[in-house]
Structure 1
Amino acid sequence: MDAPADSPWSGTGLDARTGRVLEHLVAVPSADAAEVASAAGVSAADAERALRHLADASLALRIDGTTPRWAAGPPRSSLGALLARRRAELAHAEVLVERLQEMYETVSGPRAAHLVELLEREQQVSARYGQLLKGCASEVLHLAKPPYVTGSEASAGELGVADGVRMRSVYETEGFTDAVSLTTALRGTGQGGELRLASGLPVKLVVFDRVAALLPVHGDRPAAGSLVVHSPALVEALVALFESVWERAEPVSLSGRTDAPPPTPEGPLPADTPATQEPDPRTREILHLMATGLKDDTIARLLKVSRRTVQKHVSEAGTRLGARTRFQIALLAAERGWLEDH
């Protein structure tokens, strides 16, 4: 019986009882079984078994006489030989473990491929993304953050997502540097898609119908390859991650909605307001961002201007349009075509 893992004899293959017997033998010239049992605190039968085991391992020598006595062999040479045998056994065991591991990987490899796919080239990622998106029947969940890979991040409309598929996207706020970036994000949500903005997104991610997920192998190098995850447990965890990000993200309303109620004026609008006068590019850009639901602080950060500058442009646009609220400004600007790309 092997020694417990915390026994000093565990590395030799001797159990603790036999080790105590050997410790007594090396401390005396010789001893009979009764003396060994008393000194080691074991029964006479256990002492006999331990002594025979030591003799078989060449660690003890039986001295015949009227009452047989036992003497220990030189510990360094006798235990050294035992440890050498143990090392050889461990080496053989390691070879066996490696062979078993190779067999396991050979059998498990095809199974693992059904749980996770590795896409090593950008073209593979783009093609697989389009295939998964077109196969969606109910829902697409999307976390988008820079750096972007153009080939694999085409908009849903361009890839022909099926009608009725609900699309929810959260874009990295810091990823927008101008109105063009925001327009791309709005287009990428597809017809009727929902868009939100959040800072510090944890990962780039797309989840398809909650049965498959696509994410990069290296978050900072999306072109270095991606993983397609099919494992139900992993997909469920990624969906939970998306939902937590979605809850804290800031909603962005689409400026082209037709179901919004008409504005309710707080009073008569000036009749001589130069509403037909075209705004300058900066005002048009600020109105475009404001119409999506962004706050003044966010717009100022995106355009690298002061909050006061944003408010000044919005106020001047309101005067031109004869609008008294931000909602009126956004609606009337959309009607005048001020929010369209030029």
Structure 2
Amino acid sequence: MDVTSDSSWAGIGLGVLEGRVLEQLVGLPAASARALSEAAGVSVAQTEQALRRLEERALAVRTGDRPERWVASPPRVSVGTLLARRRSELARAEELAEQIYAAYDAASGPRSAHLVELLTDESEVAARYTGLLRDSTLEVLHLAKPPYVTAHGDPGDEPAVGAGVSLRSVYETGGFSDALSLETALRGTADGGELRLASHLPTKLVVVDRRAALLPARVDHPLTGTLIVHSPALVAALVSLFEMVWDQAMPASLGTRLERQAAERSTRVTPVDTRTREVLRLMATGMKDDTIARVLGISRRTVQKHVSAAGSALGARTRFQIALLATEQGWLGRGSAVPEPEPVAEPVPVPVPVPSE
């Protein structure tokens, strides 16, 4: 008789062998261990061992015959007893589980806040981030991925790490199309920070002294919130992620590269006309094409032609690069609206962009 699969008897505490022997026994009025072993396809010794276990559970009974024979107890009573016992055990286990759940819930609030925090308020993120950088003493590891924001919307207000703190940053190359990322990277490397470039970064990330980390709550929507991680195990995993990205990224020194490019261009860049310089000066202040056109009394299309001509002469691909390289060439002049950087007393702190919320 085969009424079930080998694994189904585990629900009432029977092993595979015991269940197989019981299945054969219930279909016979009485049977010897040898007959059952042949029917179940196992050895006599295994059958006798299974029969003794079934007897302990009141599922099988020995007869007084010689040689010894076995009969099955009425299953509705014997199996029903085991089922009732198992239901009682499960009920006690469920009650204990509820007590454990309650104890966990009572402690999960402070435990979660200690290990991982979720911040959604922009000002709170900026304040906590600034504080972590201010208190850093060893190193800051940084994965910079667009979009970039600052604490107060002004690059001059960016938080900074103190002198003597090691800063290693990996920037996603696509992010250098905006002014904030390039200015920050230039100032960071100028003060001794190490910079590398990667075509793609898995997430924004800042790790401070290997004791706390900040990253977006959602990679696909980085503005929905910021996680502050304090768990040593999680921070260690994020450090490993950074080191993996760092090893695969391309080393770069923007200051040296720009100086070399400027020297090369100084011998071959053709100066542009006065009107193009006027367009570039206004563009460098952040004016849009329509505004520049109104100020100079020309069409928007003419503005774009001047910008395109300057880009071709400088070998620049973006508007910010055009303004930066035009400044190096002296095309914007000191009397332009582009502010000159003010001298900063030593030591100069290294700025780092605030992670998006």
**Structure possessing the higher relative contact order (Cα contacts under 8 Å, 6 or more residues apart):** 2
- Equivalent residues, number: 305
Output the CA distance in 2 between the equivalents of 1:138 and 1:164: 8
8 Å CA contact 2:213, 2:229 repeated in 1: yes
Amino acid at match of 2:142: H
1:170-319 matches, within 5 Å, as: 170-179=170-179, 181-182=180-181, 185-186=184-185, 189=188, 192=191, 193-246=193-246, 247-249=248-250, 251=252, 253-254=254-255, 279-282=277-280, 312-314=312-314
Cα 1:253/1:277, change in 2 over 3 Å: farther
- Residue 217 of structure 1 and its aligned partner are, at CA, apart by 1.0
Cα 1:43/1:87, change in 2 over 3 Å: same
Output the CA distance in 2 between the equivalents of 1:139 and 1:167: 6
Matched, 1:30 2:30: yes
Worse-matched range after superposition: 124-133 or 77-86: 77-86
Identify the residue that residue 322 of structure 1 maps to in structure 2.
none
Amino acid at match of 1:131: G
1:341 to 338, 346, 349: 338
Identify the residue that residue 163 of structure 1 maps to in structure 2.
163
Cα deviation 1:4-31 (Å, max 9, x = unaligned): x964532331234433442342232123
- Residue 85 of structure 1 and its aligned partner are, at CA, apart by 3.5
Output the CA distance in 1 between the equivalents of 2:314 and 2:269: 17
Cα deviation 1:245-269 (Å, max 9, x = unaligned): 4452463524899x98x95999999
Output the CA distance in 2 between the equivalents of 1:36 and 1:169: 74
Output the CA distance in 1 between the equivalents of 2:266 and 2:147: 45
Cα deviation 1:111-133 (Å, max 9, x = unaligned): 55444333343332111101101
Identify the residue that residue 95 of structure 1 maps to in structure 2.
95
Output the CA distance in 2 between the equivalents of 1:337 and 1:168: 34
Cα 1:36/1:210, change in 2 over 3 Å: closer
Amino acid at match of 1:185: T
Task: Mark the runs of 5 or more structure 1 residues left unpaired by the alignment.
Answer: 287-303, 317-327
Output the CA distance in 1 between the equivalents of 2:269 and 2:25: 111
Identify the residue that residue 140 of structure 1 maps to in structure 2.
140
- Residue 60 of structure 1 and its aligned partner are, at CA, apart by 3.5
Output the CA distance in 2 between the equivalents of 1:232 and 1:211: 7
Amino acid at match of 2:184: A
Amino acid at match of 1:94: E
8 Å CA contact 2:151, 2:157 repeated in 1: no
SS at 1:30 equivalent = coil
Output the CA distance in 2 between the equivalents of 1:54 and 1:138: 67
Cα deviation 1:126-155 (Å, max 9, x = unaligned): 111011010112332222223445448875
Output the CA distance in 2 between the equivalents of 1:182 and 1:34: 83
8 Å CA contact 1:156, 1:190 repeated in 2: no
Cα 1:128/1:109, change in 2 over 3 Å: same
Output the CA distance in 2 between the equivalents of 1:75 and 1:31: 17
Output the CA distance in 1 between the equivalents of 2:269 and 2:55: 111
Calculate the TM-score normalised by the size of structure 2: 0.61
- Residue 222 of structure 1 and its aligned partner are, at CA, apart by 3.5
Query: How big is the alpha-carbon RMSD for the aligned residues of Structure 1 and Structure 2?
Result: 5.1
8 Å CA contact 1:121, 1:223 repeated in 2: no
Amino acid at match of 1:235: V
Task: Mark the runs of 5 or more structure 2 residues left unpaired by the alignment.
Answer: 285-303, 317-324, 340-357
Cα 1:339/1:222, change in 2 over 3 Å: farther
- Residue 56 of structure 1 and its aligned partner are, at CA, apart by 5.5
Output the CA distance in 1 between the equivalents of 2:46 and 2:196: 79
Identify the residue that residue 350 of structure 2 maps to in structure 1.
none
Cα 1:56/1:312, change in 2 over 3 Å: closer
8 Å CA contact 1:171, 1:197 repeated in 2: yes
Cα deviation 1:157-194 (Å, max 9, x = unaligned): 64353223343433434345554x45653477486245
Output the CA distance in 2 between the equivalents of 1:182 and 1:337: 24
Identify the residue that residue 124 of structure 2 maps to in structure 1.
124
Calculate the TM-score normalised by the size of structure 1: 0.63
Output the CA distance in 2 between the equivalents of 1:268 and 1:93: 83
8 Å CA contact 2:169, 2:196 repeated in 1: yes
Output the CA distance in 1 between the equivalents of 2:22 and 2:328: 95
Output the CA distance in 1 between the equivalents of 2:252 and 2:118: 33
Cα 1:97/1:65, change in 2 over 3 Å: same
Structure ranking higher in helix proportion: 2
Output the CA distance in 2 between the equivalents of 1:267 and 1:118: 54
Cα 1:154/1:53, change in 2 over 3 Å: farther
SS at 2:214 equivalent = strand
8 Å CA contact 1:136, 1:208 repeated in 2: yes
Cα deviation 1:267-299 (Å, max 9, x = unaligned): 9999xx89999835459979xxxxxxxxxxxxx
Amino acid at match of 1:172: E
Identify the residue that residue 351 of structure 2 maps to in structure 1.
none
8 Å CA contact 1:255, 1:334 repeated in 2: no
